[in-house]
Structure 1
Amino acid sequence: MTVAAAQRGTTTVSDKAVRKIAERVAAEAVSVSVPGAGAAKGSATVRGRRADVAVDVALRYPTPLPGAVRALQKHVTDRTHRLTGLDIAAVRIAVTALIPVPAAAKSVAPRNHSAPASAEPVVVSRTPLRWWSRRRLPMGLLTLAAAVACGALAFDLILVHTAHRPAALWRTHTLNWLSGHGPGEPSVVIGAGVLAVLGLLMIALALTPGRRGLLTLASPSPRLRAAVDRGAVAVLVRDAVGDTQGIGRVRVRVRRRTVAVRARLAFGDRAVARRRVESAAGRALEGCGLLRVPRLRVRVRPEAAWDPETEEGGGGVGHPVAVTADGRALEGANR
């Protein structure tokens, strides 16, 4: 006897199970490119036969991020659908770190699930310039407070009109207190001030993106959204500037519209070093593929033991310069 499908029961896949599967699937692709790296964390929401998935990953550097994220998004969608049987409506990939590949590993071409597709022109999509936050905690608290207040009032009204019970004490006391206190009393003024501050806070949360630590990347597809952390951009710019000849300590601060580079010059001409720093930092920013490249501000200051006459052919690497306590080079030290 054949039993109908409806009588055999149903299979339900929980949000937690889908989240773990998506994390493992993302780790499969990412760990091939970056040994030891994988999905940092993820989330999933299941609605019937559909699921929304979000995964945070770390990718290797250098990697064309739009193509790599697009390939990783397709991989997570296909594998999660095949393992869970659910229709994956949307997969959001967030790149939280860029890990440089060791020199020894660069010579070996590993099998890369997140390899970018063939070179194609980057078309600026309608992706917003700022990465907006979902505001889950404020929205959750606001929804909980509204649900408790409206539920308590509705429950009391139902009891009054159906069971013919007197109104709840909290409701009668509140009405009596409001009828006996005017607008000029300190308690009313304080309460109104607190409500005004909460209202301004809610307006600020509604009008501001919130996730200031993310910079949006240029996307070749309107349906693909990608972002990179400011800290990762700062590390890339700092490493690029640190490789410049004559530069010692480097400090980089990445903001939403500007990138400030503060470098210390150990030897060489200051104007030449500044041009080299600007060129290296500009190439690093262009390589990030940002939707809006921030303005670059460079400041190069000499070290206490700076030798302006030391260049590539003189007292560069392998030709140390003897320096006195006041920063002057000893006569004949470069000879």
Structure 2
Amino acid sequence: MTTPGQRGTTTVADRAVRRIVERAADEATPGRTGRAARGSVAVHGPRAQVRLTVGLGYPAPLADTVRRVQDHVTERTRHLAGLDVRRAAVTVDTLTVRAAPLPTVNAEVDEPARRPSRRSSGRLRASRRGPVAGLLLAAALGCGALAVDVVRVRTGRPPAAWRTAAVDWLSGHGPGDLSVLVGGSVAALAGLWLLALAALPGRRKLLTVATPDAYPDTAIDRPALAALLHGAASGVAGVGAVRVRVRHRSVTVRAALAFGAVEAVRDDVTAATRRVLADCALRRPLRPRVRVRPEPTWRPPEPDLPKPRAAGTPGSPETAEPARFVRAGGDA
């Protein structure tokens, strides 16, 4: 009988793991509507790095739903592909109104073993694939051309014309030449740009969500949060058009007042905005700013008129003393 090491190696392609991950995400959100989940997978030995983009139904608890998706994807990938998912980054890009509430999956998946808490900076970091690919391509082309020319020289062939021309040009131009200063400035700016890309987290359109298990990769898109706030503000009585702007530190809600008192409507819109922000459970709470502007057709509400007094009460017209008439030149 052969040992497991002598039987060969089993390799699971990234495409197969991606199909498993996307199907598992769809299983964890059976009540959703719209397009299916989209994912990308990078397999490194026995581990897999997973990124998912899903659309959820509204209303739904975002933190709990995303945590259920992460747990279900991790469990199904470990069971079907034998890979350990250490990081499942989930991005919610759409929210779709649905009639039925989101059903739950198996209880074994709903209550998995708690992961150890880990610290997070509160921002999702961008992978910077474009700049990294460009830098690697330029470095590969330069190093490859230089290596080929060195091999040519070692084999007895003359050096390439581009290298001899570059050496001659550099020997005839000093640090004070304008072309050298321009080239150095461009190189310095490119270096500063690459350092800024490496230091800054990026992905400013995503706001991280605070979850009980400290998943640092759970986030909500700013347009999705703006849609939630727009729906909550539009549901307030007396509110017409609504405009919402979500920034990194604050949320601005501008509502047009069609009817009602300005102060009362502003308080209701503020309360609705605070409820939505509390339900989203953002890692960095946003500061709400509510502005209510009356429409041109708005009229202030009429003041409440005093109620008429009941008959028989003091001061009512029925109990008032009748007027006395005095005849001229005589007694009443």
After TM superposition, the score normalised by the length of structure 1 is: 0.80
Secondary structure of residue in 2 paired with 1:33: coil
Cα shift at 1:296:
1.1
Distance in structure 2 (CA, Å) of the matches to 1:247 and 1:264: 6
* Deviation sequence 1:13-64 (CA, Å, 0-9, x none): 211221122112211222x12134530x211111233222211112223333
Name the aligned partner's letter for residue 167 of structure 1: P
Q: 2:262 aligns with which of 234, 257, 270?
A: 270
Distance in structure 2 (CA, Å) of the matches to 1:295 and 1:271: 19
Distance in structure 1 (CA, Å) of the matches to 2:265 and 2:35: 36
Secondary structure of residue in 1 paired with 2:295: strand
Distance in structure 2 (CA, Å) of the matches to 1:212 and 1:18: 29
Distance in structure 1 (CA, Å) of the matches to 2:144 and 2:278: 54
* Deviation sequence 1:133-181 (CA, Å, 0-9, x none): 11111111111211221232234334434x2443322221111111112
Distance in structure 2 (CA, Å) of the matches to 1:273 and 1:124: 42
The equivalent residue for 1:258 is 250
8 Å Cα contact 2:32-2:57 kept in structure 1: yes
8 Å Cα contact 1:33-1:60 kept in structure 2: yes
The equivalent residue for 1:25 is 24
> Unpaired segments of 5 or more residues in structure 1?
313-335
Write out aligned runs for 1:245-324 (5 A): 245-309=237-301
* Deviation sequence 1:163-201 (CA, Å, 0-9, x none): 244332222111111111233434333322322331222
> What is the Cα-based RMSD across aligned positions, in Å?
2.8
Cα shift at 1:252:
0.1
Name the aligned partner's letter for residue 48 of structure 1: G
* Deviation sequence 1:199-225 (CA, Å, 0-9, x none): 222122122221010001112223553
Cα shift at 1:7:
5.7
Cα shift at 1:9:
4.2
Indicate yes or no: 2:148 matched with 1:151: no
Indicate yes or no: 2:59 matched with 1:66: no
Secondary structure of residue in 1 paired with 2:123: coil
The equivalent residue for 2:190 is 198
Distance 1:42 1:311, change over 3 A: farther
Secondary structure of residue in 1 paired with 2:66: helix
The equivalent residue for 1:315 is none
Cα shift at 1:256:
0.3
Distance 1:76 1:113, change over 3 A: same
Indicate yes or no: 2:96 matched with 1:99: yes
8 Å Cα contact 2:14-2:43 kept in structure 1: yes
Higher-Rg structure is: 2
* Deviation sequence 1:249-284 (CA, Å, 0-9, x none): 000000000111110000111111111111111111
Distance 1:5 1:287, change over 3 A: closer
Q: 1:77 aligns with which of 74, 77, 99?
A: 74
The equivalent residue for 1:46 is 43
8 Å Cα contact 1:53-1:90 kept in structure 2: yes
Q: Bigger shift: 194-203 or 232-241?
A: 194-203
8 Å Cα contact 1:25-1:76 kept in structure 2: yes
Distance 1:130 1:85, change over 3 A: closer
Distance 1:4 1:282, change over 3 A: closer
Q: Bigger shift: 249-258 or 133-142?
A: 133-142
In the alignment of these two chains, the number of paired residues is 300
Q: 2:32 aligns with which of 23, 31, 34?
A: 34
8 Å Cα contact 2:208-2:216 kept in structure 1: no
Secondary structure of residue in 1 paired with 2:301: coil
Q: 1:134 aligns with which of 123, 127, 145?
A: 127
Distance 1:310 1:253, change over 3 A: farther
Write out aligned runs for 1:174-253 (5 A): 174-253=166-245
